Amino acid sequence: MSEVFKTSLPLRTAEDADPAVSAPLKAAQAGMGMVPNMYAAMVNLPALLDTYNHGYGKFRAEAGFTPVEQEVVFLAISRFNGCHYCVAAHSFVGDMMSKVPAEVTDAIRDGRPVPDARLEALRTFAHQMTESRGNPTPEQAQAFLAAGYTEEHILGIVLAISVKVISNYSNHIFHTELDPGFAARAWSAAA
């Protein structure tokens, strides 16, 4: 792949004079105990971070997936998009918060089938939806539905893809450096 543009915009801080920048970063600090570099980058356009946070929260709360399934979806999309930051971050979240079995996370990271059939159907379909830009074949959708998912879950994957376009693409143009907490789960698209 050819060289990727890198923006000259800075990472912003919670001390920024602009409240549209500082307020969401202060909220992140209060809620997570840190300001992720990804947030510090995206807030250069406050509407971008706000839209990401809104969609991310809605996906987590209303898309109908378990926490483990949520990480499978986010990891599959982020891996397909080659986002080193989001693969590492969702690997960390999967390990520490969502309690995704390590063999599931590692299989997705390595591009291998997931050992659980239902989660593999989810990983496969999230990948297919991303790769096809929302144009799965009837056979692909039927295989997903046959695994016990619903057409509403397909819409949930559309929401996840939307959120990941915001974060993955932002991380691409910022070449976002991993936060120290995610470094143990660093990932390279060449892997």
Q: What is the mean pLDDT of residues 43-70?
A: 98
Per-domain residue ranges for the chain? 66-185
Q: What is the mean pLDDT of residues 84-110?
A: 97
**Cβ-contact 80, 191 below 8 angstroms:** no
In angstroms, rounded to a whole number, what is the distance separating the alpha carbons of residues 105 and 114? 8
Going from the C-alpha of 106 to that of each of 76, 96, 187, the distances in angstroms are 11, 14, 10
Residue 115: DSSP 8-state: S
Largest CA-CA distance found in the chain, in angstroms, rounded = 53
Residue 28, Cβ density class (10 Å: 0-12 exposed, 13-18 middle, ≥19 buried): buried
Task: Please give the mean pLDDT across all residues of the chain.
Answer: 97
**pTM for the model:** 0.96
CATH of domain 66-185: 1.20.1290.10
pLDDT in tens, 176-191: 999 999 999 999 987 5
Task: Report helix, strand or coil for 62.
Answer: helix
Residue 6: DSSP 8-state: -
- Looking at residue 191, its pLDDT comes to 56
Residue 34: DSSP 8-state: S
Question: Among the residues of the chain, which ranges form H helices?
Answer: 19-32, 37-42, 46-62, 67-80, 84-93, 102-110, 117-131, 138-146, 151-174
- Looking at residue 190, its pLDDT comes to 72
- Does residue 1 carry a pLDDT above 60? no
pLDDT in tens, 132-158: 999 999 999 999 999 999 999 999 999
**Cβ-contact 136, 126 below 8 angstroms:** no
